[in-house]
Amino acid sequence: MFFGGDYNPEQWPEDVWAQDVELMRRARVTLVTVGVFAWARLEPAPGRHDFGWLDRILDRLADAGIGVALATPTASPPPWFSLAHPEALPVDAAGVRLSHGSRDTYCASAPAYRSAARRIAAALAQRYHDHPALALWHVHNEYGTTCHCDLTAEAFRRWLRHRYGDLDTLNDAWTTAFWSQHYTDWAQIRPPRATQYLPNPTQVLDFRRFTSDELLAAYVEQRDLLRAATPGVPVTTNYVLGDWVPVDHARWAAEVDLVAIDHYPSDAGPAAEEEAAFAADLARGWARGSPGRPDWLLMETAPNLVYTADRMHTKEPGRMARNSLAAVARGSRGAMFFQWRAPRGGAELFHSALVPHAGPDSRVYREAVELGDRLARVAPAAAGVVEARVAVVYDEPSAWALRARALPSTRLDHLDDARRAHRALWRRGITADVVGGLDDLSGYAVVVLPGHYLMADRQAAALRAFVEAGGHLVATYLSGVADEHARIRTGGYPGALRDLLGVRVEEFHPLAVDASVKLSDGTTGDLWSETVHATGARVVASYADGVLAGRPAVTRHTVGAGTAWYVSTRLADDAYADLLHAVAADAGVGPVRPDLPPGVEVVTRRTGDRSWLFVLNHTATVCEVAASGVDLLTGATVDGVVRVPAGGSAVVGTG
Amino acid sequence: MFFGGDYNPEQWPEDVWAQDVELMRRARVTLVTVGVFAWARLEPAPGRHDFGWLDRILDRLADAGIGVALATPTASPPPWFSLAHPEALPVDAAGVRLSHGSRDTYCASAPAYRSAARRIAAALAQRYHDHPALALWHVHNEYGTTCHCDLTAEAFRRWLRHRYGDLDTLNDAWTTAFWSQHYTDWAQIRPPRATQYLPNPTQVLDFRRFTSDELLAAYVEQRDLLRAATPGVPVTTNYVLGDWVPVDHARWAAEVDLVAIDHYPSDAGPAAEEEAAFAADLARGWARGSPGRPDWLLMETAPNLVYTADRMHTKEPGRMARNSLAAVARGSRGAMFFQWRAPRGGAELFHSALVPHAGPDSRVYREAVELGDRLARVAPAAAGVVEARVAVVYDEPSAWALRARALPSTRLDHLDDARRAHRALWRRGITADVVGGLDDLSGYAVVVLPGHYLMADRQAAALRAFVEAGGHLVATYLSGVADEHARIRTGGYPGALRDLLGVRVEEFHPLAVDASVKLSDGTTGDLWSETVHATGARVVASYADGVLAGRPAVTRHTVGAGTAWYVSTRLADDAYADLLHAVAADAGVGPVRPDLPPGVEVVTRRTGDRSWLFVLNHTATVCEVAASGVDLLTGATVDGVVRVPAGGSAVVGTG
Amino acid sequence: MFFGGDYNPEQWPEDVWAQDVELMRRARVTLVTVGVFAWARLEPAPGRHDFGWLDRILDRLADAGIGVALATPTASPPPWFSLAHPEALPVDAAGVRLSHGSRDTYCASAPAYRSAARRIAAALAQRYHDHPALALWHVHNEYGTTCHCDLTAEAFRRWLRHRYGDLDTLNDAWTTAFWSQHYTDWAQIRPPRATQYLPNPTQVLDFRRFTSDELLAAYVEQRDLLRAATPGVPVTTNYVLGDWVPVDHARWAAEVDLVAIDHYPSDAGPAAEEEAAFAADLARGWARGSPGRPDWLLMETAPNLVYTADRMHTKEPGRMARNSLAAVARGSRGAMFFQWRAPRGGAELFHSALVPHAGPDSRVYREAVELGDRLARVAPAAAGVVEARVAVVYDEPSAWALRARALPSTRLDHLDDARRAHRALWRRGITADVVGGLDDLSGYAVVVLPGHYLMADRQAAALRAFVEAGGHLVATYLSGVADEHARIRTGGYPGALRDLLGVRVEEFHPLAVDASVKLSDGTTGDLWSETVHATGARVVASYADGVLAGRPAVTRHTVGAGTAWYVSTRLADDAYADLLHAVAADAGVGPVRPDLPPGVEVVTRRTGDRSWLFVLNHTATVCEVAASGVDLLTGATVDGVVRVPAGGSAVVGTG
């Protein structure tokens, strides 16, 4: 079980290091990430390395039995690099070349950057390939920098040539017949820079795909080099989540030995726990596509705070531990934090840390010590696997496509829709994987498509096969409306799924910000409604008011051995939860424990005949959950019911 | 009666064309606009033309008896052009040169662009001058691109030399004594680019005037060339409305053979109908300055949706037809739409169309068929002319000037004020023209000046002549305050109209966002108030509270045979409607029909002793309107009263 | 007593000048500021001067006995200069080089600009050094232009070399170990330009410090040159206030002969009077560091309006005079306005003026005449000095540092906190100086530190000395948390003041926008709360709800002969006023008059045994204040009580 966080000894004099290592030992830290932003210290001048300080701290850590996730520092080139290679600084959509002075000031398509990155990675691999502390390679940090420069333009054109082969195909995919954009020479194509009015949406979409692939290539280059040096040491990079990130993480999963995510919820209240569960199940979904084990790692989270729009909310006592166990419950191989020790200065000087500015005589460090103890106690559960029979599809290209301008509503948000679907299940205690649009669906009883807008033919075919084989599909509005090039499948929405769902949608009726629509079953929807014709499906609920009164709103279609539901509006949370609960029940899938109080989260990890029931009580009152076995946290025997205090946790193991 | 819309065969394989033409015939389409954004397909390489596809579709259309508004495609230069002529890409105020990838990526002052535009226009004229489908030339699309590049700077300086003759005159007009801006060489003058603080407001105003004239010159160049080739075919360009558009449409009217507007209301509710009536009456006002007939054409509107700030609102059943008849009622020569067939991709793939993504088996296409039938039935009414005895002045340079920074209120909006005046009349059933600030006022009984801020001496003289001759003038706050160079006419506001109105305004008292002020007659005003001294005028209403309590708010001045009203605050809608209704009554002007229910719109077109009464029932209940004759839509005889169903229309013809 | 304003004869034909001078005489104007933006008229071509018009107007003014604050016009280089020296136009953070066309389009680090500025200043000094009208040199106008160009980068590096000596020291101060920003060559350092993510906060802070010093050097250069020419004429520059201004005015005070401020309140209501009192006390605080007398000058304010976010609010009758006397009450040497005569055009054509667009037949000019009379009557009071025993610290670098991104709350605002402290005292009638962070505190009984975030060791030592010697200190949250390089003082907040305050703060708990927290004494706080450990201090009030319930909120620590209070939340206004009132009472400091009605402002100027009590009645009802002597405004004898009418003023002199 990994426990620890980002550790930046280069920010401190060496006399602090001894205290650090002692404090880590006291807290049972097992892994620290070292070197993430240390390029300027490791290579103070081109090709001249200074590894002395890193040698000393790695030795100290090894002596203390603490593993190291050794980072390549390539997310932040040093000042000397940017001065020598201004062409490797990123350029924004308006053509502004950014300056050094923050982090991530690199262009992934700049040869000078790529070669300097390979050089420092190789130097680290050569020096530390056999260091006893080395437990994991941590490549770069939060890949996510978009650039619009001329070097990027060249790389984009190469990528497009590879994707489309010839210009006719590209012109067709991009619908360049619209607005006189027909290309007759590859050289005419550029990244989507600032332009007069609406950009070409497929150009924008492909540019994000390209950026993802270009960053992935930069990662793979380093990974290959590290793998060659240390075949036995796993290599990963930490994914950053957020809708600004131009990375299709599902495609990256195949290239990492361990899916690692950084998770920073945005809500100070209970919604943070739902966000965290979503992120965990998303990571687990990605890990299904990874060559390694099905678990994953929460590589970064803030120990003691939640970033909201206007402030840093300090976590309530005990919340850090409960959040950590919740991640482990959902398959994380441990709990890692940004960061070990709070810095004195720099851009993130108030970011939370296990050793805060106040020092170890502090609640947060004391809670870290307790957490280290708890993680050690629950280590056996790491053998268990989380089993989910329900999948929620989150397809990053669809999310990107629905962020285009000039769509029927400015509030379309596939990520939010996926979170809503997941939240509906979470609130009913049903464990779900969040999977990518191209992932294998076998093994699932229920699949939810929350606005899966872009759909290639093979994806539609896979969904049909899933249903025909007895699967239960729930698709919501906009799923399957477009092909992979963001072109509408004409003849009636949702083109790719029309037959499977047994409906034909004639028109969209997006709703105003404050509007909602009633359904015949007493529920309500908002954001969206549609003129739905049932062409085979049975009408489950109709619109009860407005211009669509009497027309189908929710339908169900029997296909082969399965059923395909269509939901044409955005159901209110409770109604959505009821619907998904009912569909799951039809599919023979139930909650981990029925009738839990709101805010009590329960997940099982299982292997063979052994299982571990994680109970996370996010509420302010004690709760009781049916369980038998031994609570790993307390060592107490549980016989029938485990009582979990307000804000507390239990991990009941059996077998 | 024109009926049809933008048609883009280049977006579709030819096998769709046959279906298109058949669907057009079924809908009685009479005119389609072809080629608007087809430059890249018409001229795939410099000077190399591909007209084959256009030949084929024009022939098909001609065979089907469908006319073509043939567009010059110059609003969107092809990629090859932008690559070869980067200096012809527009530059924004911050100096960012925009990229190709949208539409309208041209600089109207770039010689390369102008010459390429002339070349393609000439090629089209040469090839299609005698094509039987050719009914109208549609130059460019929605002229409105502003550029701040160095080529534009040169053109701006040429325009300024022509306007001012010498630098002394310019320095005086621009008040360059303020902030040390005195110019001593023409070369020192630039477009208003990003600067440190507030720009020179007259420089900004003149730059908009220049941009309008520069775009007009680009239009005239093409028009002359097309006229020379086809003397009998009318030439026009479609105006786009919106306060970002740097075009003084009133000045353009003299150069088009048919005023054509694109109208996209911004409100999903009933305000859209008021907006549409305003746009129609504005177009009719412009058409008065056009050399052709007094009618105009609604060249583009969305068939089935209204764009609001946050979504595309789908029109209610029947609304498309009612809106179309409302345009015809106000003088449109028909109803044209953007667009015929919804595209599969491109930036506007969800824009509404007569043939939607769902195809012809759809409400919208069925309504299009009905609309075609109705337009054919009302065709006789096209002979009628809309008669208005009331004019509302909308002066685009005043609107621009009131959008300057550092004015007494950030909420000054001449366009909104003009709409309010028009709406007040609309709600009382009084037909009004919306005319430009330099238009001839003879023939009107009542003229409303809603914040006509910039006023040249000759405009003030024309208003005086209008009143002395018996006209009724209603001027609101800020009218006449500045001269044509946006310089204050000192000595007391509103300098240009002080004597005519018989008032002297000493100070402005702009009101806070949530504030209002009561008047002695029980009405209220907001936004604005003033210290008014009556110097000849009679006080009709006074301020009843606040710092101005007891001072004049609304005044009336008898001058010659007429009267001049002054309104120093922004009256609430009802009070404004009452006031304008009373002034009109004084002038002998009444509503088309008195005491109509709110939301019932009634307009008459007349010629000789024939007349057509259009009744548009925008309400949800049946209405009855006094009328006799024959309802062209139904063929029924109307004897005294026409009953119009909820959401329906009637066109009762007599004579 | 100075009375007058900015006068721009260059905007008017000479026939207006005679009227101007006559109107000035009638209003008893004593000083006008001439030439502020006249560079283009004074030097129409490089090195060619046209002083004729200036000679003529200065002669006229001298003949009328009106003094002149003669300005160097260097805030607005002429168009010819910008055309010849584009490198002297400022560049924004995104690299956009701004254009001429506004004002302040200069880069203070451009040698061409600096030399041209010296040249025109020298020419003015040479020509007018012995002109009888010359009363004051007014250098430039509102220094405040930031530039990010390469010339600035060079100057920034020179400044950094001077500040830090070597790169090791800079790297340490800037914490460049964070995010790989370690500098190995001075050439690598640049201004903080647009970058990928959060900038280095110390780099940003130092860049503002550098900008302040660079602008100061530009000022000093001119001042030295003017002083050399006219040793007897005082030299100043007018400070502009506002959080965008990159100027540390406290450091500038030592370089001016008279502190002069421009003050434009932002609130139309009574808060404007509190803002004005704060600005006045701030100016007086700066004047303490100035070599000249302790008074200062309100150099610009708007005669008749208040700029709010959405409009220009017209001042109520009498408010201009009351505001002017309020400034004099707090030490201003008079009342100067922007501006004398309202311009016809230019960017600020609606800015208020003593002679408005309406001309002298206007309320505002009549009030100006009255004001001139009043100022003449109160002239004896100019001998008096305002005595304050309370100081509120406002430290501009702290304000800058708290505007960094990624702080615990987005709403931290040191200026607002200082205003709140000052307002609390103002509402209790307690006179306070607002002093800089480095100012001498001797002479004060009470010092308030409202979020004095940056604190050097010597500042902390001075505060300790102040308390030990018997002073009363009130420090609020975030005071002393960081050192002068914005680095956290670790080990528990607030590091620099931990011992002095007798508290150790473990964690911050910023509050949500709509949240507040109750205290045990019934008061409430918002914005901020903290985990406070009393380590010597006595707990005065505790948190009464929330996660901190029961923990200390407000504490008091006895140190030597004094006391040190700590306030860990943002107290509501009343509670804050009660607290500061009580602390002041403990320190033997009381209000000028006790128990005044809200909105009645009372201040005393005193010298020897003579004193002048200023009473400003900002309320809508008459008030009575204990006083004896003679009311200078009316000449009436006051015996025990002065009655001041609603909106009126009194100045009761004794001795």
Residue of B348, B357, B363 with shortest CB distance to A198: B348
Helices (H), B362-507: 363-378, 396-401, 414-427, 457-468, 498-501
Find, among B25, B13, B8, the residue nearest to B365 by Cα.
B25
Annotated active-site residue in A214, A275, A300, A601: A300
pLDDT value of residue B340:
98
Q: Alpha-carbon distance A340 to A3, whole Å?
A: 11
Each residue of C525-554: pLDDT tens digit? 999 999 999 999 999 999 999 999 999 999
SS3 call for C404? coil
Q: Kindly indicate the confidence band of residue A378, based on its pLDDT and cuts at 50, 70 and 90.
A: very high
Give whole-number Cα distances, A349 to C191, C398, C401, C506, in Å: 21, 16, 12, 15
Q: Which residues in chain B touch residue C143, judged by CB atoms under 8 angstroms apart?
A: none
Cα B160 to its chain centre, rounded Å, is 27
Mean pLDDT score, A453-475: 98
Kindly state the tokens that stand for A549.
């009164």
| DSSP strand pairing (C259-262 vs C238-240) | parallel
pLDDT value of residue C655:
81
Q: Which residues in chain C touch residue B490, judged by CB atoms under 8 angstroms apart?
A: 342, 344, 357-359
Each residue of B23-38: pLDDT tens digit? 999 999 999 999 999 9
A374 annotated among ligand-binding-site residues? no
Classify residue B374 as exposed, middle or buried by CB count within 10 Å of its CB (0-12, 13-18, 19+): buried
Active site (catalytic) residues of B: 142, 300
pLDDT at B275 over 80: yes
A296 has which bridge partners? Answer: A259, A332
pLDDT at A173 over 90: yes
Q: Kindly indicate the confidence band of residue A438, based on its pLDDT and cuts at 50, 70 and 90.
A: confident
Kindly state the tokens that stand for B471.
């006209």
**Residue C349 to residue B184, Cβ atoms within 8 A:** no
- Asked if B112 contacts B86 with a C-beta cutoff of 8 angstroms, the reply is no
Binding positions of B for Zn(2+): 107, 147, 149
Mean pLDDT score, C265-281: 96
Kindly state the tokens that stand for B88.
């012809």
pLDDT value of residue A339:
97
The dihedrals phi and psi of A40, each to the nearest 5 degrees, come to -60, -25
pLDDT at C414 over 80: yes
Kindly state the tokens that stand for B27.
């809908």
pLDDT at B604 over 90: yes
pLDDT value of residue B290:
82
Q: CA of A315, closest CA in chain C: separation in Å? A: 9
Measured from the Cβ of residue B532, the count of other Cβ atoms closer than 10 Å reads 27
Mean pLDDT score, A83-99: 98
SS3 call for B651? strand
Q: Which residues in chain A touch residue B312, judged by CB atoms under 8 angstroms apart?
A: 408-409, 508, 510
Q: Kindly indicate the confidence band of residue C291, based on its pLDDT and cuts at 50, 70 and 90.
A: confident
pLDDT value of residue A222:
98
Find, among A454, A414, A422, the residue nearest to A437 by Cα.
A454
Amino acid in the structure at residue A375: L
DSSP for A373-414, written as a single string: HHHHHTGGGGG-EE--SEEEE--HHHHHHTTSSS-SBTT--H
Q: CA of B450, closest CA in chain A: separation in Å? A: 32
Q: CA of A493, closest CA in chain B: separation in Å? A: 7
**Residue A492 to residue B359, Cβ atoms within 8 A:** yes
Mean pLDDT (chain B, rounded): 97
pLDDT at A185 over 80: yes
Q: Kindly indicate the confidence band of residue C294, based on its pLDDT and cuts at 50, 70 and 90.
A: confident
Q: Alpha-carbon distance B432 to B451, whole Å?
A: 17
Q: Alpha-carbon distance B578 to B24, whole Å?
A: 46
DSSP for C259-297, written as a single string: EEEE---S-SSTHHHHHHHHHHHHHHHHHHTSSS-S-EE
pLDDT value of residue B29:
98
Each residue of B393-425: pLDDT tens digit? 999 999 999 999 999 999 999 999 999 999 999
C623 annotated among ligand-binding-site residues? no
The dihedrals phi and psi of C322, each to the nearest 5 degrees, come to -65, -45
pLDDT value of residue B140:
98
Each residue of B100-130: pLDDT tens digit? 999 999 999 999 999 999 999 999 999 999 9
**Residue C201 to residue A349, Cβ atoms within 8 A:** yes
Q: List the beta strands (DSSP E) in C568-618.
A: 570-571, 600-607, 610-617
pLDDT value of residue C557:
98
Residue of A79, A309, A357 with shortest CB distance to C183: A79
**Residue C79 to residue B183, Cβ atoms within 8 A:** yes
Instruction: Kindly report the CATH number that applies to the domain delimited by B600-654.
Output: 2.60.40.1180
Q: Alpha-carbon distance A390 to A404, whole Å?
A: 30
pLDDT at C129 over 80: yes
Find, among C392, C460, C388, C396, the residue nearest to C429 by Cα.
C388
Helices (H), A455-550: 457-468, 498-501
A149 annotated among ligand-binding-site residues? yes
pLDDT value of residue C258:
96
Each residue of C142-168: pLDDT tens digit? 999 999 999 999 999 999 999 999 999
Mean pLDDT (chain C, rounded): 97
pLDDT at B51 over 80: yes
pLDDT value of residue C293:
73
pLDDT at A294 over 90: no
Find, among B264, B358, B365, B337, the residue nearest to B6 by Cα.
B337
Each residue of C381-399: pLDDT tens digit? 999 999 999 999 999 999 9
Q: Kindly indicate the confidence band of residue B291, based on its pLDDT and cuts at 50, 70 and 90.
A: confident
Domain range A390-586, its CATH number among 3.40.50.720, 3.40.50.12280, 3.40.50.880, 3.10.28.10: 3.40.50.880
Dihedral angle of Cα B515, B520, B521, B525, to the nearest 10 degrees: -20
More confident site: A72 or A655? A72
Residue of C409, C504, C506 with shortest CB distance to A311: C409
Q: Which residues in chain B touch residue C357, judged by CB atoms under 8 angstroms apart?
A: 488, 490-493
C147 annotated among ligand-binding-site residues? yes
Which residues, at least 6 apart from A462, have a Cβ–Cβ distance to it below 8 Å?
A441
- Asked if B4 contacts B24 with a C-beta cutoff of 8 angstroms, the reply is yes
Amino acid in the structure at residue C312: M
* Tokens 């030295």 sit on residue: C224
Each residue of B620-637: pLDDT tens digit? 999 999 999 999 999 999
pLDDT value of residue A244:
87
Domains of chain B by residue range = 390-586, 600-654
Find, among B25, B30, B17, B23, the residue nearest to B57 by Cα.
B17
Number of helices (H), then strands (E), in chain A: 17, 29
Each residue of C191-224: pLDDT tens digit? 999 999 999 999 999 999 999 999 999 999 999 9
Q: CA of B631, closest CA in chain A: separation in Å? A: 28
Q: In what order do the strands lie in the sheet with C31-34?
A: C235-236, C134-138, C67-71, C31-34, C2-7, C332-337, C296-300, C259-262, C238-240
Q: Alpha-carbon distance A214 to C49, whole Å?
A: 61
Kindly state the DSSP code that residue C382 receives in the 8-state scheme: G
Classify residue A352 as exposed, middle or buried by CB count within 10 Å of its CB (0-12, 13-18, 19+): buried
